[in-house]
Amino acid sequence: MTPPEGAVVLLSGGLDSATVLHIAVDMGFEVHALTFGYGQRHSPELRAAALVAERAGVKDHITVFLDPRLFQGSALTGYGEVPDGSALREEGAIPSTYVPARNTVFLSLALARAESIGSRDVFIGVNSLDYSGYPDCRPEFIEAFRRMAGLATRDALEGRPVRIHAPLLEMTKARIIERGLELGVDYSLTLSCYRPDGHGRPCGTCDSCMLRLRGFREAGTEDPAVYSTEGE
């Protein structure tokens, strides 16, 4: 019997990445979870990531802090208010919660981490159906990143390119939740909200909360998260 192979899983602490982590485990990978602090105002997601990783029994989990000067101008990093999801949906444009080059940066650092630890696989929870409209969540971006990564590293040149897995790319939020529940994901540990309250509870009304709540509704099950609006 060969030992399990290692995979780097990008873990934000939200619903999607928690599901991806469990998909990687289900595929037989030993998971090296990787979380980033980048000055996000919803930093309680870092704690959610730690809880998700611990519960899933990952091989290791590191949280890397990146200089916020690299990620200015986003509502998620403190430039302006995070808007209500309902307002956003009407606009159609790329929302103010877009963070400069975030998935490019996260995938690049995951690529470095994978080569550092001798892993050939990277997982990311991007989703192009029920998502916020960010450019770096689209299939064509992931495909272009794969192509670039295939030219970038020593491992690639020596015939062992890193594989970029994006298993949620074409799944609805409801389908992601169904798959996660099959795999035993405890969604009560996850935090999807862009503007949690002082206790780290989700708001229920930002874009990310709305997508999540609609997903649970469409999956015919209840979101176990406790929202800040409950009991008010």
The contact set with its own copies (CB under 8 A) reads 62, 64-67, 69-73, 94, 98, 100-105, 107-109, 111-118, 135-136, 138, 140-141, 144-145, 147-154, 156-158
Q: How many CB atoms lie within 10 A of CB 94?
A: 11
Please, what is the minimum distance in Å from the beta carbon of residue 67 to its own copies? 4
Please, what is the minimum distance in Å from the beta carbon of residue 219 to its own copies? 30
Q: How many Å from the N-terminal Cα to the C-terminal Cα in the chain?
A: 55
Please, what is the minimum distance in Å from the beta carbon of residue 111 to its own copies? 4
Element (H, E) at 4: none
Please, what is the minimum distance in Å from the beta carbon of residue 140 to its own copies? 5
Q: Which is nearer to its own copies, 129 or 156 (CB)?
A: 156
Q: Strand 6-10 relative to strand 121-123: parallel, antiparallel, unpaired?
A: parallel
Task: Give phi and psi for 32, each to the nearest 5.
Answer: -110, 100
Please, what is the minimum distance in Å from the beta carbon of residue 152 to its own copies? 5
Q: Which is nearer to its own copies, 60 or 230 (CB)?
A: 60
Please, what is the minimum distance in Å from the beta carbon of residue 36 to its own copies? 10
Q: Which is nearer to its own copies, 23 or 114 (CB)?
A: 114
Helices (H) and strands (E) in the chain, counts: 8, 5
How is the beta sheet containing 121-123 ordered, strand by strand? 60-65, 30-37, 6-10, 121-123, 163-165
Q: Which is nearer to its own copies, 142 or 210 (CB)?
A: 142
Q: Is 24 helix (H, G, I), strand (E, B) or coil?
A: helix
Q: Which is nearer to its own copies, 10 or 174 (CB)?
A: 10
Distance CA 49, CA 189 (A): 8
Distance CA 17, CA 191 (A): 10
Specify the DSSP class assigned to residue 69: G
Q: Which is nearer to its own copies, 121 or 223 (CB)?
A: 121
Contact present, 86 and 210 (Cβ < 8 Å) = yes
